[in-house]
Amino acid sequence: MNASHLLKEHPAKKALVFTVLLLASLVFAAPILLILMNSFKGKLFISDAPFAFPSAASFIGLDNYIHGIAATGFPVAFCWSLCITVFSVAIIVLFSSMTGWYITRQHKGFNKMLYFAFVFAMIVPFQMVMFPLTKIANIFHLDNPVGILAVYLGFGAGQSVFLFCGFVKSIPIAVEEAATIDGCTPAGTFFNIVLPMLSPIAITVAIINAMWIWNDFLLPFLLIGSEYRTIPVAVQYLRTGYGSIDMGNMMAIIVLAILPIIAFYFVCQRYIIEGVTAGSVKG
């Protein structure tokens, strides 16, 4: 008897599960709602009553948004965040998919070591390598909007290769052998046959890395700094020289920063489940 039958036979259990999931949803949604609510209030009212809804006295309309956009240079920061995110994700998906396919199909001892190296990279915290990384990036002139794409590829490849390897195992090798018999080169087999079949997991990898890169603060701050501000870096410049923060402006900019990635996630969320589920099936 599966879980769905149990829920149908026991309405009380179904109600309990619904209540638990509803409470969990509220816990995760509460910070976003709090930020949105305070983005329409004056900074004094945010400090005095952060959990209160905007009232006639505290409501200031779009003033926080207007001042925050002007103070942070939000349009330029948005363009830098968008360009870095889009190109980084595209590079990660392309190179990780090729690597995952090669490691899975070529059964060599070196490939097994390479696979474990990628898996190990998933557990290395960024804080452990950020100072050597900054020095190496300076030496090789990667401290610019183009060079940071290579750095993101290095950090994003571990998990991405791991996911692609699991998915490639579910693809029948007979399809690739038939393409080879028909005269396809390895590159032609990958781009014409394999890559289209990898689209579910490729979309999953793209979503995961897009959410990470869009919200990343440390790497852009360390490598490209204030010259090419991304949105998370631009938000920090709302802090004045004496440490004071205009919380109203900051709340407004945070709302503008999270809206695109939330919309992107809701549009593509079903592909995460489809990609991970398909990749768990071994051929």
Q: Whole-model pTM? A: 0.82
Could you give the residue ranges of the DSSP H alpha helices within the chain?
A: 3-9, 11-38, 43-48, 63-72, 74-105, 109-121, 126-139, 147-168, 173-181, 186-189, 195-197, 199-215, 218-223, 231-236, 247-279
Q: Where are the domains of the chain?
A: 3-60, 64-279
Phi, psi at 245, each rounded to 5°: -130, 135
pLDDT in tens, the chain (283 residues): 445 554 455 777 888 888 898 898 888 888 888 888 888 888 788 888 888 888 888 888 888 899 888 888 889 999 999 999 999 999 999 999 999 999 998 877 788 888 888 888 888 888 888 888 888 888 988 888 999 999 999 888 989 999 999 888 888 888 888 888 888 888 888 998 898 888 888 988 998 899 899 999 889 988 887 788 899 988 887 776 666 777 888 888 999 988 888 888 788 777 666 655 554 444 4
Do residues 265 and 200 lie in contact, with contact meaning Cβ atoms separated by under 8 Å? no
Helix, coil or strand: residue 245: strand
Distance of alpha carbon 74 from alpha carbon 78, whole angstroms? 6
Diameter over CA atoms, the chain: 76
Domain 64-279 has CATH 1.20.120.10: no
